Amino acid sequence: MKIALGLIVRKLNEKVNILNFLENSKKYDHTIDEVIIAYSESYDEALAEKIEEYAQLKLLKINHCHELTYRLKEIGLDNELINDLIYSDFYDEYGLVPYGKNRNNVLIQAIVDKMDVLFFVDDDVKPSVLIKNGTEIKEIEIDFFEEHLKYLKGEIYVTSSDYSGYYIVPPMRFKNMEYLIRGLQKGAMFNKSFVNVHGYLTVDKYENRSVSKTDKVLGGNLAMRLDIFNDILPFFSGVYEVRGEHYLTRGEDTLLGLTIDKVDHKFFLDIDVKIFHDTFDDFPTAPCIMKDQLVKDRFFYACMGWIGRNPFLNWLLERDLEEYYERTRKALVIGAPAIAEHLEDRRFYLLPEALDQSYLNLDKMIVKYYKLRNNWREFMNYMK
């Protein structure tokens, strides 16, 4: 079995945890055949050399994937199809790369290189879990690759799970916060994180795990048998504009889960292994949005990303778009000023307007979705 390890980053530097996973694979006798990293700005040559001590390294700079372009031409793809698949007009125009585009570049490289399994991790996760021992929180290294591979057979084609660590929503308490939650279309965990004084800290069950079939995958804790992509669509996300600024939409892994439900006898599995996500890069310090501008920035861009994604998600799920728009906008009209005043950050006043723009952008996203669907099927036919 040939295994690739994938990662998407803006800059590949010493802050990226990729070496931890390569050391983990060596420690537990797993061979990683390729490391495939999609990046947009720069990479550290010294780090690249260290990675190559463990596995062959493929670096994919957005809009400069010359070797991959050549390989795709060799296979028979024409220039228009190649351009649609791996190049990003958004990057040339706005300096932004949709998360789905970067992940798909890694995915396409792995398929072209005839890898059997592709792992995805993020730059701020580790091959370890947090567990609770009495009142103490401990970090324990695990055999990360084996935790996925032991299930990745038979009818199971994709394995994924959540994270241990602080949830991306920092602790906050303010009047009318339930309206913000409703307007962002977020659920129970979101609410718990808001009201927990120290932030919502998740720990791993460790010895009491329970696996279950799922349609939810997370791109930072993910393994995929690549032949599943004959049956399902890849990653997808976009960019939308609010008052002259452009924002990335979140949820690029949503499409995978929604398409697996239509495939017989092939499933995704939640393996219930919550790897450590150092969300705010200073664990065990609890996040404080009132004092830390980086925490505030991250939450603002997350809100803009969720709002940008939600109309497309509602469309995919065949929901009543007008009803969802009216319901969520009414909530944001109350919730957005509430959080803007609580955080003394005027950016959050934009949320209702962002919702308007995301719905106006929906037709463009739908066109891009259909184009991706057609292009992907054509690409996979070439690979057969």
- Taking only the tens place, the pLDDT of each residue in 49-65 is 999 999 999 999 999 99
* pLDDT at residue 106, as a whole number: 98
**Euclidean distance between CA atoms 67 and 84, whole angstroms:** 16
Q: State the DSSP code for 263.
A: S
Look at residue 195 in the predicted model and tell me its pLDDT. 66
Q: How, if at all, do strands 212-214 and 125-133 pair?
A: unpaired
The whole domain housing 158 covers: 3-383
Please give the Cα distance from 145 to 158 (Å, whole number). Answer: 13
Q: What is the DSSP string of 200-217?
A: -EE---TTS---EEES--
DSSP assignment string, 86-127: H--HHHHHHS---HHHHHHHHHHHHHHTT-SEEEEE-TTEEE
Average pLDDT, the chain: 94
Domains identified in the chain, total number: 1
Of 145-154, 159-168, 252-261, which gets the smallest average pLDDT?
252-261
Residues 6 or more apart whose Cβ sits within 8 Å of residue 263 = 231, 232
Tell me the pLDDT tens digit for each residue of 281-294.
889 988 889 999 99
